[in-house]
Structure 1
Amino acid sequence: MSNLFRIACLLLFFSHLAVETQAQKISSAKKIESLLRKTNLDVVDACIKLVIRDTLADRDFGGFSAVIVSSDGTILTAAHSVQPTHRYRVEFPNGQKGVAVALGKIALDAGNKQFDLAMLKMEGKGAWPFVTMADNRNLVVGEGCLAISYPGSFFQTKPNLRFGRLTSLDAGDGFMESTCKMEPGDSGGGLFDLRGKLIGIRDNVKISEDKNFDIPVNLFRQYWSALQKPINYRQLPVAQPLPPVVPSKRFTVAPPAHFSQWGLKFLNQVTTLHSTKGNAQQNILATAINLGQKDLPSVLWLSKSSMLGEQPWMTDNGVKIPLNILSRDPENDLVLLSRAGRMNDFQGVKIGENEIQTTKF
């Protein structure tokens, strides 16, 4: 299923490229891919998972994401996952483990803004891998960004990567907004610009998957001294002034017309799947793919396993069409489905015969 995971990432990548922007800095998909690869290699070692441990019951009962921002082990994350003075197991992408203690926490509404800031500190001697923080005042709408975090549904030791674009630098409530998707477990993870600088901490997602909100790193700067004290603040502490702005190079993502055409082509191969989870109906998008192999249906459907329940179906000209689940891949959170008969509106995104081995389904 690893090949299917790469395909899903490719489809998501091009769907993001279809979004228009007025700025036009990067027009090459290869350039974007190169920046994403370099950003990931530069920062991923400092992107950690924090595990909540019940020592009396000798079990783990939750986890969330975080980012180390200094060589002495200062950690930033979202406050709604943290309690001051509590200790958390730290898991690094390379398998290394450690312990961090929670320091300050600011989780409150003040005026028109919501605050969800927390700081921790690694125990033991460094030097620890860390990332550099950007200045949010330099950001521009439309620039590319990369989210690195540990979504709970994936159950994997390495973080997940999501490419997107900044859609709002100030959502009006203290957050900024991007198209990098979120789900439970992503909270506290890092949002990076394409230079590998930390621009935000992942916080929350609305009912719509297009509404993803991050805490600007400049808020952590403003309350840095307060967060170093192990206090759960009930009112907003005194803020520190931000240093003067130092301009920096930005990478806005504005693909040329042929990328937009690719994106529209993929969008035309997307439909909604319906299913049942518990007593509620679940709806999730799926992409039609065509493997070009004689022993498989001409069109299969690829979607998100954790969001697809039992007895899935789709509609074709108002007619309910049942679907068969061929395989689920929990590690990559993918599900592969088929249906009886043909759908003239869907030919499937063609995938070369040599790219996927059917024995892995």
Structure 2
Amino acid sequence: MDRNTIILWLLFLLGGITENGFGQLNHKANPVEKLISDVIDSSFNACVYIIEYDTLSRKKGEGMGFSGVVVSKDGHILTVSHAVEPHQVYLVTFPDGDSCIASGLGRIGIQKKGQDFDMAMIKILHTGKWRYAKMGRSADLVPGQPVVSISYPGSFYKPLPNIRLGKINHVGGPGGYIESTCKMEPGDSGGPLFDAEGRVVGLHSWIKANENENFDVPIDAYLKYWSALSVAKDYASLPVADMLPSIMPRNNGDSGYISVIGKTNAASNRSVVQIISGTGDKGSFIKGAVIKFGGKIYIVSKSSMVRQNPKLLYRSGNIPATILIRDRENDLILLTARVDDKDAVDIDAAASNGKSTSLGRLLFTPVNHTRTKVGISSSSFISMEPNYSIGFFGADATYIDRKVTITSIRTGSAACGFLRIKDQVISINDVSIDKPEYYGRELARCYASESIQVSVRRNGKLLQLKFPLPAYPTGKHVSYDFPGGTSMRSDGFAKVLIQDAAIRADECGTPVFNIANEFVGINIARHSRTSTVIMPVDVIGGFIVNSSKGQHTVNK
């Protein structure tokens, strides 16, 4: 299959949602994955994480770093002006863990009438033959053309970048930017956008609320002002441009559209069910997957979103479901209900092999019986420490007279309606708080949406308090404005995969399949604008096995 045919199939897949699924696309999709793999092979190791660095104290700067890409063997790194200052020292880290020191060079950050530039260059100070990516030609980009993003989203605390697949929406949009569907969030700034040949065609700059509206600085602008960017200067006005050849090497290939789509794999789509639980204001709606394991039929879903008295919306009616077991560590729940075993996905074989899903593999999520969302694996197996999912307790404490004593309470927090200043904390969730460090440690183990039990002494009287923990308030940033928002529990997992499909928080629990129609796992959380978390099949299989041994909590 030639490259243009591959691009045609990519254009279909990049639609993101199809009413016709993926069951008959598998024989065509392998070359698509090969194309993505080639981009990763040629460019991944040139994509770097950058953060301010103090060479005297040998400490990283506070706050979030940003992304960039090495584009010359001499160590020139392209990024964006809103992240860089001339002469500033930076620590640059490569995906393999190697790091080096770089210094800020030219910065062109001009937003005036008729002008909008967000360009910067830094350069590695050490001599060497650095891994670098080739630069392409953004002028040749056309709507619908596939592009790949490799950068470091700030919602993750990991040393490797995430991969995302998208298509060009528009070239020469507002301010001359490239608009694509490759999703971005804070931390991705300065990260590269690659064409199908693995060449840099843009650098991540800004976003709108719509997940499919992401804007990159075109690589042609960097080439045009290369000489100016090579000088450590903050330009207040547009510098003199370089004289570029009138005929530059053009990108190979073209793009087009495809209209013929195969039929859905109906069996996989039938495995999706809607779970309804709770009542009134405490009602909850989440998806689940009907699976077969060890000869038995189960429904597996996201535990923190399943309340009491669950029901399944099944074949145009509601049927009762029974909660068997919960796994707090992985936010999994196992249920049973009277469902047809023909609707179940047999996961025995997939659960036993536990094989990894490589970077850039196509993944398919049926969100109901007719609609499928398409993404790619943004990472291999990773662990996610609890950060964004910790509940908003909201009370500070000080060690006074050998007692952990409440000294301030934040308005709107969980503690606001229950604790008082000068309360002495005796225990949290039945764990004695004898030392100051125990207070923070126990609070860090409490997830939003869960209830917390706090024993305090107030005016000499012992009180037992129990109250729910809300999520921390999100910041005021457009990256939080995507439909459905993040899942309340989106991290704190020992082994997960990441994909870039835009799975809504209330669509979690849905099954995920690869191009061979093998069960990969379930979507367990929407973590951020760019990323959905997958609980892999071997973890689900282990959960079921351990539940039969009584190693999980029955909490209905």
TM-score (norm 1): 0.72
2:42 is matched with 42
Given the alignment, which residue of 78, 92, 95 partners 1:93? 95
Instruction: After superposing the two structures, state which structure 1 stretch, 245-254 or 101-110, moved more.
Output: 245-254
Could you report, residue by residue, the CA deviation over 1:174-213 in whole angstroms, capped at 9, with x for unpaired residues?
Answer: 2111000101100001100011111000111112222110
Once residues 117 and 326 of structure 1 are traced to their aligned partners in structure 2, the CA distance between those partners, rounded to angstroms, is: 33
Q: Contact 2:290/2:297 (CA < 8 Å) preserved in 1?
A: no
CA distance change for structure 1 residues 350 and 114 in 2, over 3 Å: closer, same or farther?
closer
Q: Report the residue type matching 1:159 in the other structure.
A: P
Given the alignment, which residue of 250, 258, 277 partners 2:253? 250
How many residue pairs were aligned?
Answer: 310
CA distance change for structure 1 residues 334 and 231 in 2, over 3 Å: closer, same or farther?
same
Q: Report the residue type matching 2:124 in the other structure.
A: M
Q: Report the residue type matching 1:246 in the other structure.
A: P
- What are the within-5 Å matches in structure 2 for residues 37-186 of structure 1? 37-53=37-53, 58-61=59-62, 62-186=64-188
> How big is the shift at 1:29?
2.0
Q: Contact 1:144/1:251 (CA < 8 Å) preserved in 2?
A: no
Q: Contact 2:388/2:490 (CA < 8 Å) preserved in 1?
A: no
> How big is the shift at 1:331?
8.3
CA distance change for structure 1 residues 71 and 56 in 2, over 3 Å: closer, same or farther?
closer
CA distance change for structure 1 residues 354 and 159 in 2, over 3 Å: closer, same or farther?
closer
> How big is the shift at 1:327?
6.8
Instruction: After superposing the two structures, state which structure 1 stretch, 348-357 or 135-144, moved more.
Output: 348-357
CA distance change for structure 1 residues 197 and 253 in 2, over 3 Å: closer, same or farther?
farther
Instruction: After superposing the two structures, state which structure 1 stretch, 183-192 or 300-309, moved more.
Output: 300-309
Instruction: After superposing the two structures, state which structure 1 stretch, 179-188 or 253-262, moved more.
Output: 253-262
Once residues 173 and 28 of structure 2 are traced to their aligned partners in structure 1, the CA distance between those partners, rounded to angstroms, is: 29
SS in 2 for 1:102: strand
> How big is the shift at 1:238?
1.5
> How big is the shift at 1:111?
3.5
Q: Which runs of 5+ in 2 are unaligned?
A: 1-11, 20-26, 275-285, 306-364, 368-383, 392-447, 451-486, 500-505, 522-536, 544-556
Instruction: After superposing the two structures, state which structure 1 stretch, 151-160 or 349-358, moved more.
Output: 349-358
Instruction: Kindly indicate whether residue 181 of structure 2 is the aligned counterpart of residue 190 of structure 1.
Output: no
CA distance change for structure 1 residues 236 and 350 in 2, over 3 Å: closer, same or farther?
closer
Q: Report the residue type matching 2:114 in the other structure.
A: N
CA distance change for structure 1 residues 117 and 127 in 2, over 3 Å: closer, same or farther?
same
1:226 is matched with 228
Once residues 490 and 175 of structure 2 are traced to their aligned partners in structure 1, the CA distance between those partners, rounded to angstroms, is: 43
Q: Report the residue type matching 1:111 in the other structure.
A: K
Could you report, residue by residue, the CA deviation over 1:129-153 in whole angstroms, capped at 9, with x for unpaired residues?
Answer: 1111111121111110000001111
CA distance change for structure 1 residues 126 and 17 in 2, over 3 Å: closer, same or farther?
same
SS in 2 for 1:202: strand
1:329 is matched with 493
Q: Report the residue type matching 1:156 in the other structure.
A: K
Once residues 37 and 388 of structure 2 are traced to their aligned partners in structure 1, the CA distance between those partners, rounded to angstroms, is: 28
Q: Report the residue type matching 2:41 in the other structure.
A: L
Q: Which runs of 5+ in 1 are unaligned?
A: 1-12, 21-26, 272-285, 313-322, 336-342
Could you report, residue by residue, the CA deviation over 1:85-120 in whole angstroms, capped at 9, with x for unpaired residues?
Answer: 011001011110101101000001243231010001
Once residues 306 and 16 of structure 1 are traced to their aligned partners in structure 2, the CA distance between those partners, rounded to angstroms, is: 32
Q: In terms of Rg, which structure is larger? A: 2
CA distance change for structure 1 residues 41 and 347 in 2, over 3 Å: closer, same or farther?
closer
1:277 is matched with none
Once residues 307 and 125 of structure 1 are traced to their aligned partners in structure 2, the CA distance between those partners, rounded to angstroms, is: 40
Once residues 57 and 125 of structure 1 are traced to their aligned partners in structure 2, the CA distance between those partners, rounded to angstroms, is: 20
SS in 1 for 2:82: helix
Once residues 270 and 88 of structure 1 are traced to their aligned partners in structure 2, the CA distance between those partners, rounded to angstroms, is: 49
Once residues 139 and 184 of structure 2 are traced to their aligned partners in structure 1, the CA distance between those partners, rounded to angstroms, is: 24
SS in 1 for 2:299: coil
CA distance change for structure 1 residues 56 and 98 in 2, over 3 Å: closer, same or farther?
closer
1:30 is matched with 30
SS in 1 for 2:35: helix
CA distance change for structure 1 residues 253 and 296 in 2, over 3 Å: closer, same or farther?
farther
Once residues 19 and 241 of structure 1 are traced to their aligned partners in structure 2, the CA distance between those partners, rounded to angstroms, is: 46
Once residues 44 and 288 of structure 2 are traced to their aligned partners in structure 1, the CA distance between those partners, rounded to angstroms, is: 32
Once residues 97 and 269 of structure 1 are traced to their aligned partners in structure 2, the CA distance between those partners, rounded to angstroms, is: 45
2:426 is matched with none
Q: Contact 1:47/1:148 (CA < 8 Å) preserved in 2?
A: yes
> How big is the shift at 1:240?
2.2
Q: Contact 1:75/1:120 (CA < 8 Å) preserved in 2?
A: yes
Q: Contact 2:287/2:301 (CA < 8 Å) preserved in 1?
A: no
Q: Contact 2:80/2:119 (CA < 8 Å) preserved in 1?
A: yes
> How big is the shift at 1:324?
9.2
Q: Contact 1:290/1:348 (CA < 8 Å) preserved in 2?
A: no
Instruction: Kindly indicate whether residue 213 of structure 2 is the aligned counterpart of residue 211 of structure 1.
Output: yes
CA distance change for structure 1 residues 213 and 324 in 2, over 3 Å: closer, same or farther?
closer
Instruction: After superposing the two structures, state which structure 1 stretch, 251-260 or 178-187, moved more.
Output: 251-260
Once residues 159 and 509 of structure 2 are traced to their aligned partners in structure 1, the CA distance between those partners, rounded to angstroms, is: 36
Once residues 77 and 360 of structure 1 are traced to their aligned partners in structure 2, the CA distance between those partners, rounded to angstroms, is: 43
> How big is the shift at 1:59?
4.4
Once residues 198 and 79 of structure 2 are traced to their aligned partners in structure 1, the CA distance between those partners, rounded to angstroms, is: 18
Instruction: After superposing the two structures, state which structure 1 stretch, 203-212 or 244-253, moved more.
Output: 244-253
Q: Report the residue type matching 2:162 in the other structure.
A: N
- What are the within-5 Å matches in structure 2 for residues 281-360 of structure 1? 289-293=289-293, 294=296, 297-300=299-302, 310-311=448-449, 328-329=492-493, 348-349=510-511, 356-357=537-538, 358=540
CA distance change for structure 1 residues 324 and 117 in 2, over 3 Å: closer, same or farther?
closer
Q: Report the residue type matching 2:115 in the other structure.
A: K
